[in-house]
C-alpha cells in the first residue's frame, strides 16, 4: 500500500516508522515528477528538499509550530504532507493549488512568498510575535543558499542574532539559486568539504589528547581556543556565528540518520541557530540533476527524455531582446549587461557566450544591480539591467534615487511584463508601467511586436538618460524583422488605422488585439482608429490630440494596472487638452492581485482580447444611447464591479 496515500496531515506522518521514510520519499518524488511533467513547475528545487521536508514535519508540531519557506517554490512536498495530495494534480492551474505557499490555501502555509530573501525577515517577525504573546511554539525558516546574496536575508539575520530569541534557520545549500550561485558568500559556503575534513580532524585530535595522562585536559582546553581561530579559516560557520547564530553543520540533507537526530537536537537549543544542510537539486531524476537550471521552472516535459513536451515555433520576446542587445554590443564596447541570478531566464546566457567579460551576475540582489548599473553609467558605460517586471519592484528606490535623479543612461529590460500565467499573484508584471511613468527623466516604452522590440532596444541604448522597455512572456508574433535595429523618435507613437467614430489607443501586446477589434467594429459601421502608443512616457500628446479631435469615443488598452498606467496618462492628456467631452474607457488589469492561469484565459477574463475590446466599445456606445451601463468583462473588471472572489474563483482564498 502507498505510504503517501495514508498521509492526510503531518499527524499521519508521525505514525510511520522512520525506517520507512526513504520509501515515502521515493513515492513523493514519483508524485512530483508525475504532476510537474504534465503541467510544468519548479522541479529541481522540490526534488532536492524531500527528505528535509519530511524530517521537519516529523519533528515539528505543525501548524502550531511554524515553517516559513523562503521563496516557497520548493514547498511541493510540504503541500503533499499537509492535506493537499488529492488536489496536487491541479498545481499551478487556473483555480487549482498555487505553485507557492499561500496562507489562504492552507493553515500550514504561514507566509505567502514568491521572491527570494523574504523568509528570514518574515519568520523572525513571527518569533517576536510569539514572544509578545507569551507563546512557546517553534519557528523555523528554510532559506536557500542563493538567498544569502539577498541583502534582506543578511539584514534579518543581523537583527535576529542581536536579539537572541529562540529561532531556527535552516540553510538549504545546493550551490544554486536559479542560475549557479556567484560571489564571495557562495565561495565561502562551498568550503563544506573542508568543513567535513575539519570535523574529522577535531574528533581525532580530542581522542588523542584524552589518551595522554595528566596533560591531556589542559592541552584540550588550549586546542579549544585554537579551534575558534581555525574554524574561521576552514569551516563555513564563522560568518553566522559573528551574526549571533550558533552554527551547526554541514550535514547531509538526504540521509535520515543525520537529519532526524540533528533536527531534533537543534530544536532543543536556545537562541538563534543556523543548521547548514547540503542537498542536491533534482535528486532522483537524472535530467534534472544534469540540468538543474532548466528544471528550476520548467514547462511540461516528456518524462522519459526530459525534453519539452512542446517546442516553440517562434523565438520568444526574451530571445529577440537579447539577440538585439548582442548586435548592438558588437558595435559599442560601452554596453554591458547585468542580471540578478537570472542569466538563463532573462536570456543573457546568450550575451555571456559572446561577451563573457561584459556580463555581470550579481546574485539575488536587484537593489545592488540597479545602483551598480548607475555607477557604471556615471563613468561612461551603457549598462543594461535585465530583470523580470516582478523583480524590478524590489529596486524601485534605486531606479528613482540612484538612476533617474542623476539622469544616467541605464537601460531597463523589463521581461515578463504583464500576465505571466501559472506563477500567479507574485509574478504577474502588472505594475511596471504605472510605477515608472511618474519618475522624472524615465522613458517608458512597450513594443507591439518583436520587430518594434529590436528598435526599442536601440532607442534605449542611444538615449542619453534612463530608459525602459517592457516585453511579455511567451513566443513572438512571427512578424517580418528588419535587418538591423534602428532608433525610434523618443515619444512618438503611430497611427495604424484611421477612424472617425472610435479611437483605440493601445500599447504593447494589446495593440494587435485592438486592431482586430477595430476590424469587427468597422463591419458594424463604427469607423475605428487604432493608435500604437509605443511610449507610456513621454506620451505622444500631439498624436493623441489629432486622433481624439476626430472621434467621439476613446478607449485605451494595456496589459498592466489601470491605476496610474498608460490609460491614466492618456486621460490626463485629454484633460490637459480640454477634450473632456469625449466618452472614454480604460481597459487594463483591475485593482486586485491577478490569479494564476494561462495567459490567453486571463486575457479573456479581463477583457484584453479582441473580443473583450470589441465588447467594451459596443457597451460604451450603447451606454451613451440608452444612458444605462452595459455589462462586459472589460468594463466590469475595470470598474471593480466584477469581484474576483465571486466571478473567477479565488486564488486568495476560495
Query: Over 85-129, what HEC string results?
Result: CCCHHHCCCCCCCCCCCCCCCCCCCCCCCCCCCCHHHHHHHHHHH
User: Which candidate, 439, 434, 372, places its Cα nearest to that of 400?
Assistant: 439
Tens-digit pLDDT profile for residues 338-375: 999 899 999 999 999 999 999 999 988 999 999 999 99
Q: Please report which helix (H) or strand (E) contains residue 440, including its range.
A: none
DSSP string covering 577-637? TT-TTSEEEEEEE-SSPPPP--HHHHHHHTT-SHHHHHHHHHHHHHHHHHSS----HHHHH
Residues 6+ apart with CB under 8 A from 170: 52, 56, 140, 141, 142, 143, 274, 275, 277
Tens-digit pLDDT profile for residues 198-240: 455 555 555 665 666 666 555 555 555 555 444 444 456 788 8
CA 102 to chain centre: 15
Q: Is 233 exposed, middle or buried (0-12, 13-18, 19+ CB in 10 A)?
A: exposed
492 in Cβ contact with 534 (< 8 Å): yes
Angle between helices 610-626 and 511-523 (to 10 degrees): 50
Residues 6+ apart with CB under 8 A from 617: 502, 504, 517, 521, 526, 528, 553, 555, 585
User: Between vectors from CA 82 to CA 76 and to CA 86, what angle results, nearest 5°?
Assistant: 75
Q: How does the average pLDDT of the chain come out, rounded? A: 88
Q: How many C-beta atoms surround the C-beta of residue 311 within 10 A?
A: 7
Catalytically active residues, by annotation: 281, 366, 394
Tens-digit pLDDT profile for residues 37-83: 999 999 999 999 999 999 999 999 999 999 999 988 999 999 999 99
Q: Which residues of 491-522 are buried (b: 16+ CB within 10 A; e: fewer)?
A: bebeebbebebbbbbbbbbbbbbbbebbebbe
Domains and CATH numbers, the chain: 4-180+246-290 (3.40.50.970), 321-470 (3.40.50.970), 494-640 (3.40.50.920)
Indicate whether this model's pTM tops 0.95.
no
CA 561 to chain centre: 18
For residues 371, 376, 380 and 382, what is the CA-based torsion angle, rounded to 10 degrees? -90
Q: What is the mean pLDDT of residues 498-508?
A: 97
Q: Please report which helix (H) or strand (E) contains residue 345, including its range.
A: none
Report d(CA 467, CA 31) in Å as an integer: 45
Tens-digit pLDDT profile for residues 370-392: 999 999 999 999 999 999 999 99
- Percent of the chain topping pLDDT 70: 86
H and E: helices and strands count for the chain = 27, 17
Which cell numbers hold the place of 149? Answer: 546574496
Q: Out of 218-222, 274-278, 428-432, pick the least confident.
A: 218-222
388 in Cβ contact with 430 (< 8 Å): no
- Coil, helix or strand for 649? coil
Q: HSE-up of 446 (CA within 13 Å, CB side)?
A: 32
User: Between vectors from CA 142 to CA 347 and to CA 200, what angle results, nearest 5°?
Assistant: 105
Which cell numbers hold the place of 249? Answer: 553543520
- Note the maximum CA span of the chain: 106
301 in Cβ contact with 37 (< 8 Å): yes
Phi, then psi, of 558 in degrees rounded to 5: -155, 150
Q: Is 613 exposed, middle or buried (0-12, 13-18, 19+ CB in 10 A)?
A: buried
Q: Out of 143-147, 526-530, 574-578, 616-620, pick the least confident.
A: 143-147
* Omega cis (within 30) before 538: yes
Task: Say what the pLDDT of residue 234 is.
Answer: 46
Task: Say what the pLDDT of residue 235 is.
Answer: 55
Q: Is the pLDDT of residue 398 over 50?
A: yes
Tens-digit pLDDT profile for residues 566-578: 999 999 999 999 9
Task: Say what the pLDDT of residue 249 is.
Answer: 86
Amino acid at each position: 500500500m502507498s505510504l503517501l496515500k495514508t498521509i492526510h496531515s503531518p499527524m499521519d506522518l508521525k505514525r510511520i516508522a522512520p525506517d520507512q521514510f526513504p520509501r515515502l520519499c521515493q513515492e513523493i518524488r514519483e508524485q512530483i515528477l508525475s504532476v510537474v511533467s504534465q503541467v510544468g513547475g519548479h522541479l529541481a528545487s522540490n526534488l532536492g528538499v524531500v527528505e528535509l521536508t519530511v524530517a521537519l514535519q516529523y519533528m515539528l508540531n505543525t501548524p502550531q509550530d511554524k515553517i516559513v519557506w523562503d521563496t516557497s517554490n520548493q514547498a511541493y512536498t510540504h503541500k503533499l504532507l499537509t492535506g493537499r495530495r488529492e488536489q496536487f494534480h491541479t498545481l499551478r492551474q487556473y483555480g487549482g493549488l498555487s505553485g507557492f505557499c499561500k496562507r489562504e490555501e492552507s493553515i500550514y502555509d504561514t507566509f505567502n512568498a514568491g521572491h527570494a530573501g523574504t523568509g528570514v525577515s518574515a519568520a523572525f517577525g513571527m518569533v517576536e510575535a510569539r514572544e509578545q504573546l507569551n507563546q512557546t511554539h517553534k519557528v523555523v525558516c528554510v532559506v536557500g543558499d542563493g538567498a544569502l546574496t539577498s541583502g534582506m536575508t543578511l539584514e534579518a539575520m543581523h537583527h535576529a542574532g542581536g536579539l537572541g530569541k529562540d529561532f531556527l534557520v535552516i540553510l538549504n545549500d545546493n550551490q544554486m539559486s536559479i542560475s549557479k550561485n556567484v560571489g564571495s558568500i557562495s565561495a565561502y559556503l562551498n568550503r563544506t568539504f573542508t568543513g567535513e575534513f575539519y570535523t574529522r580532524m577535531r574528533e581525532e585530535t580530542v581522542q588523542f589528547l584524552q589518551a595522554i595522562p595528566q596533560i591531556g585536559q589542559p592541552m584540550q582546553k588550549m586546542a579549544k581556543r585554537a579551534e575558534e581561530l581555525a574554524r574561521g579559516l576552514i569551516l563555513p560557520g564563522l560568518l553566522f556565528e559573528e551574526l549571533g547564530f550558533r552554527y551547526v553543520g554541514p550535514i547531509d540533507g538526504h540521509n535520515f540518520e543525520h537529519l532526524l537526530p540533528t533536527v531534533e537536537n537543534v530544536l532543543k537549543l536556545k537562541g538563534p541557530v543556523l543548521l547548514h544542510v547540503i542537498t542536491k537539486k533534482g535528486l532522483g531524476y537524472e535530467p534534472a540533476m544534469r540540468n538543474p537550471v532548466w528544471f528550476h521552472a520548467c514547462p511540461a516535459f516528456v518524462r522519459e527524455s526530459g525534453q519539452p513536451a512542446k517546442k516553440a515555433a517562434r523565438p520568444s520576446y526574451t530571445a529577440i531582446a537579447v539577440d538585439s542587445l548582442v548586435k548592438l554590443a558588437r558595435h559599442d564596447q560601452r554596453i554591458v549587461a547585468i542580471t540578478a541570478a537570472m542569466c538563463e531566464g532573462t536570456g543573457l546566457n546568450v550575451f555571456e557566450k559572446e561577451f563573457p567579460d561584459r556580463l555581470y551576475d550579481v546574485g539575488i540582489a536587484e537593489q545592488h544591480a540597479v545602483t551598480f548599473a548607475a555607477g557604471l553609467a556615471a563613468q561612461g558605460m551603457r549598462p543594461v539591467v535585465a530583470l523580470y517586471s516582478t523583480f524590478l519592484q524590489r529596486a524601485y528606490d534605486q531606479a528613482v534615487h540612484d538612476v533617474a535623479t542623476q539622469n544616467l543612461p541605464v537601460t531597463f529590460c523589463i521581461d515578463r511584463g504583464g500576465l505571466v500565467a501559472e506563477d500567479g499573484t507574485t509574478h504577474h508584471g502588472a505594475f511596471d508601467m504605472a510605477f515608472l511613468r511618474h519618475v522624472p527623466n524615465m522613458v517608458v516604452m512597450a513594443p507591439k511586436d518583436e520587430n518594434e522590440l529590436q528598435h526599442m532596444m536601440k532607442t534605449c541604448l542611444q538615449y542619453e538618460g534612463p530608459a525602459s522597455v517592457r516585453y511579455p512572456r511567451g513566443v513572438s508574433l512571427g512578424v517580418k524583422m528588419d535587418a538591423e535595429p534602428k532608433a525610434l523618435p523618443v515619444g512618438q507613437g503611430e497611427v495604424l488605422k484611421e477612424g472617425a467614430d472610435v479611437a483605440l489607443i493601445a500599447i504593447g501586446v494589446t495593440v494587435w488585439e485592438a486592431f482586430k477589434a477595430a476590424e469587427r467594429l468597422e463591419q458594424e459601421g463604427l469607423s475605428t482608429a487604432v493608435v500604437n502608443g509605443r511610449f507610456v512616457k513621454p506620451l505622444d500628446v500631439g498624436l493623441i490630440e489629432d486622433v481624439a479631435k476626430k472621434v467621439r469615443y476613446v478607449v485605451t488598452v494595456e496589459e498592466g494596472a489601470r491605476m496610474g498606467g498608460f490609460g491614466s496618462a492618456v486621460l490626463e492628456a485629454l484633460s490637459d487638452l480640454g477634450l473632456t467631452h469625449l466618452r472614454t474607457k480604460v481597459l487594463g488589469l483591475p485593482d486586485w492581485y491577478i490569479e494564476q492561469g494561462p495567459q490567453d484565459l486571463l486575457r479573456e477574463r479581463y477583457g484584453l482580447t479582441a473580443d473583450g475590446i470589441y465588447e467594451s466599445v459596443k457597451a460604451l456606445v450603447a451606454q451613451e444611447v440608452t444612458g444605462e451601463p452595459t455589462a462586459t468583462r472589460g468594463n466590469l473588471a475595470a470598474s471593480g464591479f466584477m469581484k474576483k472572489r465571486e466571478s473567477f474563483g479565488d486564488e486568495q482564498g476560495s
